[in-house]
């Protein structure tokens, strides 16, 4: 049996940031900003964008600077870029959430700490600044364009465990981590969860690895349902 290919997203650019927009036929209750990890790109998360669209929600997948088709290099403006795309999503949905994996989880937490109106944050195996800093200095994170001279002191100035405590009063937090993560220990998510206020949820999955949760349909569905409930209030 032949199946029609899924409809492509709407591709666009905002201030040099390349994005792909997934819009449902009806009015969505929430829009999700999807953030990728270091060295990745927006196309790697089109599966989640399609899932959102199929379930009547909006999604936008973003290329961080230094990645994919976005202009410029990765640096201290990365959180401002996320908030800019959140503002774009507000033109399509009444509530906005962020879903990010690894470095994207780090950016999601820091963006939400600055924007209390966000309805939810879902962070998968989030990489805190100290792990990102070590990766950049060691050369392990070298497959994207980065302004090291500006990024290193910026990362040194941040604290994800403090940031997660500054989420908006109604911003729901979901942390998902694979116990077998070889790059970011699952205890990072445990500590972030402990530092956060309600509403919050922590899910630690047995086994797995750093990227095993990102494209798992059950995990994606759990994440989307959490975001939908948060948007419903």
CA 193 to chain CA mean position, Å: 16
3-state class (DSSP) for residue 204:
strand
Is pLDDT above 80 for 4?
Answer: no
**37: CB partners within 8 A, 6+ apart:** 101, 102, 103, 104, 127, 211
158 lies in a domain? yes
User: Which of the four pLDDT bands, split at 50, 70 and 90, describes residue 197?
Assistant: very high
**Structural domain contains residue 6:** no
31, 58 in Cβ contact below 8 A?
A: yes
Residue 139 lies in a domain: yes
Mean pLDDT, all residues of the chain: 97
User: Quick check: is 7 in a domain?
Assistant: no
- For residue 29, is pLDDT > 80? yes
**Domain-located, residue 114:** yes
Q: Structurally, how many domains does the chain consist of? A: 1
What is residue 233's predicted lDDT score, i.e. its pLDDT?
A: 86
Instruction: Quote the domain boundaries for residue 148.
Output: 17-232
In the chain, what percentage of residues exceed pLDDT 90?
Answer: 97
Residue 192 lies in a domain: yes
Here the CATH number for the domain that contains residue 209 is 3.40.50.1820
Distance CA 44, CA 77 (A): 23
Q: What is the pLDDT of residues 129-187, one digit of tens each?
A: 999 999 999 999 999 999 999 999 999 999 999 999 999 999 999 999 999 999 999 99
For 76-95, write each residue's pLDDT tens digit: 999 999 999 999 999 999 99
For residue 5, tell me if it sits in a domain.
no
Contact 228, 57 (CB under 8 A): yes
- Asked whether residue 8 is domain-assigned, the answer is no
When computed from its CA atoms, the radius of gyration of the chain, rounded to whole angstroms, is: 16
Average pLDDT rounded to a whole number, residues 62-69: 98
| Nearest by Cα to 86 from 169, 43, 30 | 30
Q: What is the pLDDT of residue 2?
A: 67
**Is residue 1's pLDDT more than 90?**
no
pLDDT at 135 (0 to 100) = 96
Q: Which residue carries 């990766």 as its tokens?
A: 135
CA distances from 45 to 17, 104, 138, 158, 215 (A): 16, 12, 27, 27, 8
């Amino acid at each position: 049996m032949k199946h029609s290919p899924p409809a492509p997203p709407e591709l666009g650019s905002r201030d040099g940031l390349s994005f792909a927009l997934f819009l449902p036929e009806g009015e969505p209750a929430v829009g999700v900003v999807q953030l990728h990890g270091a060295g990745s790109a927006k196309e790697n998360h089109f599966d989640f964008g399609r899932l959102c669209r199929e379930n009547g929600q909006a999604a936008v997948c973003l290329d961080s600077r230094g990645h994919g088709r976005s202009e410029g290099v990765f640096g201290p403006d990365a959180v401002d870029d996320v908030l800019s795309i959140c503002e774009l999503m507000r033109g399509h949905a009444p509530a906005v959430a962020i879903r990010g994996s690894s470095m994207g989880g780090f950016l999601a937490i820091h963006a939400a700490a600055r924007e209390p109106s966000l309805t939810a944050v879902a962070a998968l195996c989030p990489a805190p600044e100290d792990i990102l800093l070590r990766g950049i200095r060691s050369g392990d994170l070298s497959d994207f364009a980065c302004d090291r001279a500006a990024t290193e002191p910026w990362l040194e100035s941040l604290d994800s465990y403090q940031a997660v405590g500054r989420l908006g009063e109604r911003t729901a937090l979901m942390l998902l981590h694979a116990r077998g993560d070889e790059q970011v220990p699952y205890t990072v998510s445990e500590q972030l969860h402990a530092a956060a206020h309600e509403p919050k949820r922590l899910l630690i999955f047995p086994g797995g690895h750093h990227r095993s949760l990102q494209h798992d349909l059950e995990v994606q569905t759990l994440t989307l349902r959490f975001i939908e409930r948060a948007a419903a209030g």
